[in-house]
Amino acid sequence: MRWIIRIAVTLITLVVLAVAGLFLIPTNKIARFAEGQFEKNTGRALSIAGDVSPQIFPRLGVKLEDVAISNADWSGKGPMLEAASMEMGVGFSALLGGDIVVEAFDIQSPVIRLEKHKDGRANWDFVAELGGGEDDGGGSADVSLPLAQITNGSVEFVDAGAGQSYVLTALDATVKLLDLKGAGRVEMSGLYKGQSVKLAGVVNGVQQLLDGGVQGVDLTASAGGNTVTFKGNAGLDPVQAKGAMTGSVVDQTTLFALMDQVAPRIPKGLGQKVKVSGELTLTADNQVFLRGATIDLDQNRLTGALDVALKDTPYVTARLQGDSLDFSAMSTDTTEGDGAANAGAGGWSDARLDVSGLSGVNGEFSLKANAIDLGSIQLARTDLSGSLDRARLVLDLANVGVFDGGVSGQFVVNGRGGLSVGGDLKASSVAMQRLLNDFAGFDRLVGDASMSLQFLGVGGTMNEIMNGLKGSGRLDVGSGELLGLDIAGMIKNLDASYQGEGSKTVFDDITASFTIEGGVLSNSDLNFAAELLTATGNGVVDLGGQTIKYRLAPVALAGRLKDGIRVPVIIEGPWSNIRFRPDLKALIDTELEAEKEKLKAQAKAKEDELRAKAKAREAELKAKAAAKLEDELGVVRKDGQSVEDALKEGLENKAKDALRGLLGGN
């Protein structure tokens, strides 16, 4: 960017002329001469529409008014530079010795238009337009700028190839440069997209940096309350950097406004305030790599590596580790207004769940931590990875310690066009008492469980999600205790209503499968095994309404008594006050059924007895009838012949005999 050198040399010549002819040369001649010299050295027209005034106070120099520098011939944006006034001051003692030392350079209210053509040409590249090479055409002169200032300026940058434009307004800048080829200090402030931005620092080798080289820099930039410092090497064409970086984000609104986005609502612990440090590499294709990173998200500290692709929506790749992390604010209400979470019909919150933060970035990550506090869930050692794509977060759980056990599987939060949560999870050795107490306030089931769960919930509040939940799963609880229910005591005391102090039932195993539809969990195949006791169960758990209605049908001493002892138990009520009670109606119905069966058996036995007696009496009467037939009629009944047939046959024989007698024996 040798054009800066050309402009500086030309304007310094103008100062010399103005000072030398302070009282001798007409100012209009100075202006015309300056315009000619500027165009000769840069190929661009310099117009001075206002006065050219030599100055003695407050500094020796010259003031130009209404100054403009023409743009490249392919640009249609107007002058490259327009300024209300331009002042330059030189050192008097140096001037007397024949040297030019510019002590001050001040441009008032300039409008600077920088452009890159689609073919890559830049409107600030004067050397290319003049066909210049390595020869600066005057750039070898020693130029110093102890103080260069821009006041209330604006800069517009248009990149036609990328289809992007940027505007910086209210620009105030100060540059201190003792040697163009040496170190320079810059301080500037302005407004970008309505947000206050600042830059300050030191650049080693200003000319080399402007010419596209990589030079050492020590810079601090800020936007609102957000700051970033960098110390290392950097280049401008293309933009690149490598060195130590520290950054702080305390003003999310300003940060996202710079990216033309609305700041998402971020729960505490996920980055309401952010501090970052590490070794930074910025490549020419807008890739950022941070190694040896330390990232503070509010009260949480993470270490590892971070890569960011700077796009319309940044793409972040992170590999992070942490000790004890607190994300408990994720489970608290962030609704605007009174700030209170209104209870839904079943006790779940009606507060709107805000996951807009998921749309602010895309990427993939891995996280290892010794402990994570999620508010409603306390995680132990955690190893997980995930991806975030257009507001859809997918967590792959390799091994997450929870409730003294471990969980693996996949959990999804989808914020595209609404909110849904789902998962396919497997758990082992989970402490059921802790799990049920934290989620449902139910602490009566003691035992370690293995389970599988597939679920999907849709809604904008926890109340909507829980009342619309659907899915399926299976539960297997090893040996444990069911507190508040003493089935053995009921049997021992022969009292179905027995509720002893500290009552409990010790079991060997519980298995069950279930389905969830409309927020209601249904089960029909529960099996409960304990010493001298088995049980089956069925019923529903209303997850949305936070109530339970379940029937447990235990059978005790089945191997020792013929039918065993049966004491059905009803488990029902809201989660906050679950009640166990014997199913007395079922007991009565069972006893009545047994009595009915007994009476039926007795009736059948009596019926069989009467039938036997009737049959015996029938046989007796038939025997008497046969004997009488033989005695009185002389009829002998043949085997298998009925009395009626025998009598008929006998009568026929008698008739035949009588007929023969009448016929004389024939």
Domain residue ranges of the chain, discontinuous segments joined by +: 1-180, 419-582, 590-662
Q: What's the pLDDT band for 418 if we cut at 50, 70, 90?
A: confident
pLDDT reading at 324 higher than 70:
yes
Predicted local distance difference test score (pLDDT) of residue 386: 94
Q: What is the pTM of this model?
A: 0.64
- Residue pair 169/193 in contact (Cβ under 8 Å)? The answer is no
> What pLDDT score was predicted for residue 608?
75
What is the model's pLDDT at position 86? 84
Mean pLDDT confidence for 281-290: 91
For residue 629, give the DSSP letter.
Answer: I
Please say if the pLDDT value at position 339 is more than 60.
no
Q: Are 269 and 288 in contact (CB under 8 A)?
A: no
- H or E segment at 467? helix 462-467
Does residue 510 surpass a pLDDT of 60?
A: yes
Average pLDDT over residues 445-470: 92
pLDDT of 583-614, one tens digit each?
666 655 555 566 666 767 777 777 777 777 77
Is the pLDDT higher at 483 or at 135?
483
Handedness of CA 434, 440, 443, 444 (dihedral sign): negative
Per-residue pLDDT of 28-42, as tens digits, reads: 665 676 677 677 767
Can you tell me the distance from the alpha carbon of 174 to that of 356, in angstroms, rounded to the nearest whole number?
40
Q: Tell me, what's the pLDDT at 38?
A: 72
Helix (H, G, I), strand (E, B) or coil at 141: coil
Q: How far apart are CA 211 and CA 288, in angstroms?
A: 23
**Separate counts of helices (H) and strands (E) for the chain:** 11, 32
Q: What is the pLDDT of residue 392?
A: 93
Is residue 237 within 8 A of residue 122, CB to CB? The reply is no
| Signed CA dihedral, 615, 620, 622, 623: sign only | positive
pLDDT band at 412 (very low <50, low <70, confident <90, very high): very high
What percent of the chain stands above pLDDT 90? 31
What is the b/e burial string over 358-396, where b = at least 16 CB atoms within 10 angstroms of the residue's CB? Answer: bbbebbbbbbbbeebbbeebebbebbbebebeebbbbbe
pLDDT attached to residue 345: 44
Whether pLDDT at 660 is above 70? no
Decide if pLDDT at 135 tops 50: no
**Residue pair 647/627 in contact by the 8 Å Cβ criterion:** no
Res 364 pLDDT > 60: yes
How high is the pLDDT of residue 596? 66
Tell me: the pLDDT tens digits for 390-400? 999 999 998 88
Is residue 115 within 8 A of residue 77, CB to CB? The reply is yes
pLDDT in tens, 568-580: 788 888 987 888 7
User: What pLDDT sits at residue 342?
Assistant: 43
Look up residue 589 and give its amino acid.
Answer: D
Is residue 378 very low, low, confident or very high in pLDDT (cuts 50, 70, 90)?
A: confident
What's the whole-number mean pLDDT along residues 221-240? 90
The gap between the terminal CA atoms of the chain, to the nearest Å, is 164
Report the residue count for the chain: 666
**φ/ψ bin of 589: left (φ > 0), alpha (ψ from -120 to 50), beta (otherwise):** alpha
pLDDT at 275: 94
The mean per-residue pLDDT over the stretch 131-145 comes to 48
Least confident of 300-304, 330-334, 377-381, 603-607: 330-334
CA 479 vs CA 120, 439, 537: distances in Å? 75, 22, 17
Secondary structure, 3-state, 150-190: EEEEEEEEEECCCCEEEEEEEEEEEEEECCCCCCEEEEEEE
> What pLDDT does 438 receive?
73
Q: In whole angstroms, what is the distance from residue 591 CA to residue 604 CA?
A: 20
Asked if residue 82 has pLDDT above 90, the reply is: yes
DSSP 270-291: SSSSEEEEEEEEE-TTSEEEEE
Angle, helices 643-662/584-628, rounded to nearest 10 degrees? 20
Question: Which of 22-26, 160-164, 296-300, 480-484 shows the lowest mean pLDDT across its residues?
Answer: 22-26
Answer for the pair 482, 452: CB distance below 8 angstroms, yes or no. Answer: no
Q: What 8-state DSSP symbol labels residue 376?
A: S
User: What does the pLDDT read at residue 136?
Assistant: 46
DSSP 358: G
Q: Inform me whether the pLDDT recorded for 564 exceeds 80.
A: no
Ranges 203-207, 227-231, 335-339, 584-588: which has the least confidence: 335-339
Greater pLDDT, 383 or 633: 383
Q: What is the CB neighbour count within 10 angstroms for residue 269?
A: 20
Beta partners for 187?
174, 200
Closest CA relative to residue 419, chosen from 482, 508, 354: 354
Who has greater pLDDT, 508 or 533?
Answer: 508
Give the pLDDT mean for 445-456: 91
d(CA 466, CA 455): 11
Quick one: what percent of the chain has pLDDT higher than 70? 71
Is the pLDDT at 129 greater than 90, yes or no?
no
Alpha-carbon gap, residue 128 to 617, rounded angstroms:
138
Provide the Cα torsion 120, 125, 130, 132; round to 10°: -100
Q: Strands 52-55 and 509-517, how do they pair?
A: unpaired
Lowest mean pLDDT among 10-14, 49-53, 85-89, 466-470: 10-14
Return the top range by mean pLDDT from 58-62, 124-128, 275-279: 275-279
Per-residue pLDDT band at 139 (split at 50, 70, 90): very low
The single residue listed with the structure tokens 């500086």 is 8
- pLDDT for the residue 474: 95
Greater confidence, 660 or 378? 378
Q: Which of 38-42, 265-269, 598-602, 636-640 has the highest mean pLDDT?
A: 265-269
DSSP state of 263: P
Phi, psi values for residue 29, rounded to 5°:
-65, -40
Pairwise CA distance, residues 65 & 302, whole Å: 56
